[in-house]
Structure 1
Amino acid sequence: MDFGFVFMGDCHIHGDVKFAEDHGFSHAWLYDSQMLGSEVYAALALCADRTSRIKLGPGVTNPASRIAPLSACGMATINELAPGRAIMGIGTGNTTRRTLGMPAAKVSELEEHVRICRDLFDGKITDYTEGDRHRKIKFLNPNLNYINIKDRIPIYISASGPKVAELAGKVADGVILFGAVHPELVKWMVGCVRKGAEQAGRDPDSVYVLSMTAFYLTQSDEEIETRAVREAVGPMVASSSNIFALSCHKDPTAIPGALRQDLMGFVDVYREPDAPIESRHLKLYEGYLQHLRDEHEKLMTKKIIQATTLTGTKQEVLGMIEAMRDCGVHQVAIQPIRPTREVVEQVAKEIMPKFAKK
Structure 2
Amino acid sequence: MEFFIGTCAKIDQVGIVKQAEDAGVTHFGAGEGPLLFSDPYQYLALAARETSTINLGTWVTNPLTRIPAVTANSHATLNALAPGRTFLGIGTANNALRSMGHSPASIAQLDDALRVTTGLLAGRRVTEKWRGKERELEFLDKDGSWYNIDHPVPVWMAAGGPRGLEVAARYADYVAYCLGPDPEMIKLVRRELDKAVADAGRPPGSVKLVAVSWFYQLRNGETWEDGVDHGFASGPISSCLTNIGFMRAHAAELDPSIVEASAAAATAYLGDPNATEQPHYLDTWSKYQKGLDQSHRPLITKQLCDYWCLYGSPDEIWEKAQGMIEAGVDMLSVFLSNPFTAERDIADIGTSILARA
TM score, norm. by length of structure 1 = 0.91
In the TM superposition, what is the alpha-carbon distance from 1:254 to its structure 2 partner? Answer: 7.5
CA distance in 2, matches of 1:90, 1:254: 30
1:239-278 alignment, distance < 5 Å: 239-245=238-244, 247-248=245-246, 251=249, 253=251, 256-258=254-256, 259-272=258-271
CA contact (8 A) 1:83 1:151 kept: yes
Query: 1:54 is matched with which residue?
Result: 54
Matched letter for residue 241 of structure 1: C
CA offsets 1:258-292 (integer angstroms, 9 cap, x no match): 52112111222333466876x81000101102222
1:123-272 correspondence runs (5 A): 123-219=123-219, 222-224=222-224, 226-245=225-244, 247-248=245-246, 251=249, 253=251, 256-258=254-256, 259-272=258-271
Secondary structure of the corresponding residue to residue 11 of structure 2: coil
Quick one: distance in 1 between partners of 2:26 and 2:135?
39
SS at match of 2:70: helix
The superposition leaves residues 174-217 of structure 1 with CA deviations (integer Å, 9 ceiling, x where unpaired) of 10112443222222222221111100111231212222222112
* Residues 232 and 291, structure 2, Cα contact 8 Å, conserved in 1: no
Conserved? CA contact 1:214–1:236, under 8 Å: yes
Tell me, yes or no, if the aligned pair for 2:29 and 2:57 is still in contact at 8 Å. Answer: yes
1:91 Cα offset (Å): 0.6
Matched residue type, 2:121 = F
Give 1:123 shift: 0.6
Q: Please tell me the residue identity of whatever aligns with 1:238.
A: I
How many angstroms apart in 2 are the aligned matches of 1:253 and 1:102? Answer: 28
Per-residue deviation, 1:328: 2.5
Deviation at 1:228, TM superposition (A): 5.0
Shift in alpha-carbon separation, 1:189–1:205, aligned structure 2, 3 A: same
* Distance in 2 between residues matched to 1:254 and 1:158, nearest whole Å: 24
CA deviations over 1:208-255 (Å, ceiling 9, x no partner): 22222221122575432x24544412321112212222x448747387
Question: Is the contact between residue 193 and residue 204 of structure 1 (CA under 8 Å) also seen in structure 2?
Answer: no
Percent identical: 27
- Cα gap change, 1:236 to 1:228, in 2 (>3 Å): closer
TM-score by length of 2: 0.92
Aligned partners of 1:254, 1:196: CA distance in 2, in Å?
20
Letter in 1 for 2:234: P
In the alignment, structure 2 segments of 5+ residues that lack a partner are none
| One-letter identity of the residue aligned with 2:148 | N
On the 8 A contact 2:228/2:234 being kept in 1, the answer is no
Shift of 1:303: 2.0
CA distance in 1: counterparts of 2:76 and 2:190, whole angstroms: 29
**Do 2:3 and 2:331's aligned partners in 1 also have CA atoms closer than 8 Å?**
yes
CA distance in 2, matches of 1:108, 1:77: 27
- Distance in 2 of aligned mates of 1:222 and 1:117: 46
Show structure 1 runs of 5+ residues with no match: none
Give the Cα separation in 2 of the matches to 1:228 and 1:345.
16
The 8 Å contact of residues 3 and 25 in structure 2, kept in 1 or not, is answered as yes
Is 1:343 aligned to 2:345, yes or no? yes
Q: How many residues align?
A: 352
SS of equivalent to 2:267 = coil
